[in-house]
Chains A and B, each alone.
Chain A
Amino acid sequence: MGGKTLYEKLWDAHVVAELGAGTALIYIDRHLVHEVTSPQAFEGLRLAKRAPWRRGSNVAVPDHNVPTDHRAEGMAGVKDPISRAQLQALDKNCAEYKILKFDLVDRRQGIVHIIGPEQGLVLPGMTVVCGDSHTSTNGAFGTLAVGIGTSEVEHVLATECLVQQKSKNMRVTVTGRMGVGVTPKDVILAIIGKIGTAGGTGHAIEYAGDTIRGMSMEGRMTVCNMTIEVGARAGMVAVDDTTIEYVHGRPFAPTGALWDQAVTAWRDLHSDDDARFDREVTLEAASVQPQVTWGTTPGMVVPVGGRVPDPAEAKDAAHRKAMERALQYMDLQPGTKITDIRPDKVFFGSCTNSRIEDLRAAAAVIKGRHVAPGIKQAMVVPGSGLVKKQAEDEGLDRIFRDAGFEWRDAGCSMCLGMNPDHLSPGERCASTSNRNFEGRQGAGGRTHLVSPPMAVAAALAGHFVDVRSF
């Protein structure tokens, strides 16, 4: 019997019952809830006259649909009546079932995958689920964290469990030192470019190697966040001192003797030396340059020094067609230098990149410069009220404001454009978010995914620019 992968350890520790054919009933330790994918689940619970199995596992926050201004007004600041009704439904459901919720005006409010770790509600070794595909973010803590649909949200509420099929194991090993100006976002974009948008389907991915080990928890969260963009539901990183130091002292983290007991258990949350992976992928960090997506999937990505590729070079007819369609949608010509592409708007936020380190790294690029005249709007949306406050305590808000950026309140914002922040048809955006699908940031909008320093540099230059020489 060989050793176990981290995924196998997490799986085995949460099996309530084997159901045959690689399927098991898996216990869920933490259920994160937001306003968009939960109302139908609560309604189902109500219609079936069921109650939450274990109230304390659930934590709710409004994030997807919230305006990023007029926050002090609370619900009155939500002008769209349909959005308001959805936010009020979350309030009502959490009140009825006595579920912990951070309100709009609570400083702890923020993007669900930012606040879970920030509050110590996500702890190593947990199973974590949320009705959101970017739940993989939380895997940075050595958790099994997966995105689920609304039927499964209801299932977790009612039973504290999920019927899950065991995934295959994939390991992505990144080695060596990242260059100056290269960020974890560039590393994950390069990984997606390498293995493709369905390369991880059916797998749980463990990110390993000294580059990952050397990343902060925030960097690891950025990497794990975009795991779903290669088709894998779960991405994870083994627990080490960096993990434990991050968790220590968080509001909901264990304390005293319980903390010591927990840390002892967490030390085992790594793959055994003789663990077997179904697939191994390696990447040298030194080869990674700042990345910019040119198309309509996150896998359509090139280094900033590159050019928009030619569909004639596609590997097969289906991909050629997809590339042609993407170029048409993005209004780009093959061979165009990436640095000649000029965004109309710049969005800095999302569960991928809106933490304090992202804000610091991006603010450092500004150096007294101003947003270029050709940029219609440049906005910074901190990931949580607490990130915003910390940034303000450090004076980062002044740096952004003085440079011409809008300084907003926390939420998902223009990452998916459910709230009033979105692109108009034809507008081009440099975005620190995670998806460049057609219409993702607004119908007809064109998204280029980049790191926070690259987004800010594009805002200042008026076109994409290599942040390493800017």
Chain B
Amino acid sequence: MQAFTTVTGTAMPLDRVDVDTDAIIPKQYLKSIKRTGFGPFLFDSWRYLDPGDLTVDPATRRPNPDFVLNDARYQGASILLARDNFGCGSSREHAVWALAGYGFKAVIAPSYADIFFNNSFKNGFLPVVLRPEEVQVLFDAVKADSKQQITVDLPQQQVRVPGTPAGDLAFGFEVDPLRKARMVRGIDEIGETLTLGDAIHAYEARRREEAPWLFSR
């Protein structure tokens, strides 16, 4: 997995609650059997005015000028600002692949759906939870100045917003220590679990005694 320590860049404000993974990457792109190539289809049905699928070159499609992803001021953003319950619905990890493929390194929101939150950590894409009022401060700052720099610092567990009209701001965030350690070091979780192979074998041996029907198929 790709390591994540800090990212500094501009942020794009996506001002909607309950953004579901169907909206992040619609079903027609789930026919791909690859992990890459989803970036051009991120938020597909909000981003384009005409329909698309894997056979349509996104360069030939009509962008929706009213959607924030097509707003010239927010091009090149590496942080996504979002609202409550971001990533709800389908378990499709393609949603994280699309966000990362587009170029986002992190998302900041007051809350996430569990599966999306979990999937993010597996891909070196950091979902930061801040309090609603802190997220609001970020929305206000970024809407007032699209060039506002924001730093997401995972080792320090801090979001820093320097030089706002209210001065230099910093918000701390919580993160599970195990997930943090894996992400900072870019550890292959499967490889790490396999170092516990003896424990898995021991568990299986015990369960075969206790509950043999679980192993008959």
Contacts and interface: CB of A to CB of B under 8 A. Distances in A.
Contact of B18 (A50, A53, A131, A297): A297
Nearest to B216: A254
B190 A198 contact: no
B33 A440 contact: no
A17 B89 CA distance: 30
Contact of A86 (B31, B55, B85, B93): B31
Interface in A412-431: 416-418, 425
B27 A416 contact: yes
Contact of B17 (A150, A252, A322): A322
Nearest to A146: B115
A201 B127 CA distance: 15
B33 A85 contact: yes
Contacts of B113: 198, 201, 231
A254 B213 contact: yes
Interface string A80-92: 1011011001000
B164 interface: no
Given A17-B196, A198-B111, A322 B16 contact: yes
A404 B94 CA distance: 38
B213 A261 contact: yes
Contacts of A25: 193, 196, 199-200
Contacts of A158: 190, 193-194
A21 interface: yes
Given A21-B177, A201-B114, A252-B217, A159 B190 contact: yes
A439 B45 contact: yes
A27 B207 contact: yes
Contact of A89 (B33, B119, B214): B33
A318 interface: yes
Interface in A15-66: 16-17, 19-21, 23, 25, 27, 29, 36-37, 39-40, 43, 48, 50, 53-54, 56, 64-65
Interface residues on A, range: 35 or more
Interface residues of B, number: 62
Contacts of A197: 18, 85, 88
A401 to B, nearest CB: 28
A155 interface: yes
A417 B90 CA distance: 13
B193 A82 contact: no
Contacts of A195: none
Interface in A391-446: 416-418, 425, 435, 437-440, 443-444
Interface string A135-179: 000000000000111111011001111010100000000000000
A37 B92 contact: yes
Nearest to A27: B203
Contacts of B88: 197-198, 231, 297
B33 to A, nearest CB: 4
B176 interface: yes
A154 B190 contact: yes
A325 B16 contact: yes
A86 B200 contact: no
A125 B118 CA distance: 24
A312 interface: no
A126 interface: yes
A132 interface: yes
Contacts of A19: 178
A215 interface: no
Contacts of B188: 48
Contact of B84 (A50, A53, A318, A438): A318
Contact of A37 (B85, B91, B176, B199): B91
A297 B21 CA distance: 12
B5 interface: no
A265 B31 CA distance: 41
A149 B91 contact: yes
A123 B212 CA distance: 12
B17 A418 contact: no
A258 interface: yes
A36 B211 CA distance: 32
Given A148-B91, A148-B115, A443-B51, A65 B31 contact: yes
Given A125-B211, A149-B115, A201-B85, A443 B45 contact: yes
A121 interface: yes
Contacts of A270: none
A237 to B, nearest CB: 20
Best-buried of A147, A149, A261 by chain B (most CB within 10 Å): A149
B184 interface: no
B31 A152 contact: no
Given A148-B115, A198-B85, A40 B33 contact: yes
B122 interface: yes
A410 B8 CA distance: 49
A163 B193 contact: yes
Best-buried of A89, A133, A147 by chain B (most CB within 10 Å): A133
Given A123-B213, A202-B114, A437 B177 contact: no
B84 to A, nearest CB: 6
Best-buried of B17, B55, B217 by chain A (most CB within 10 Å): B217
Given A149-B91, A297-B88, 18 more contacts: A16-B196, A16-B200, A21-B177, A23-B178, A27-B203, A36-B30, A36-B92, A40-B35, A64-B30, A123-B214, A125-B211, A148-B115, A151-B119, A160-B200, A198-B85, A254-B213, A262-B211, A435-B90
9 contacts: A121-B217, A151-B93, A151-B122, A201-B85, A231-B114, A417-B27, A438-B23, A439-B26, A443-B26
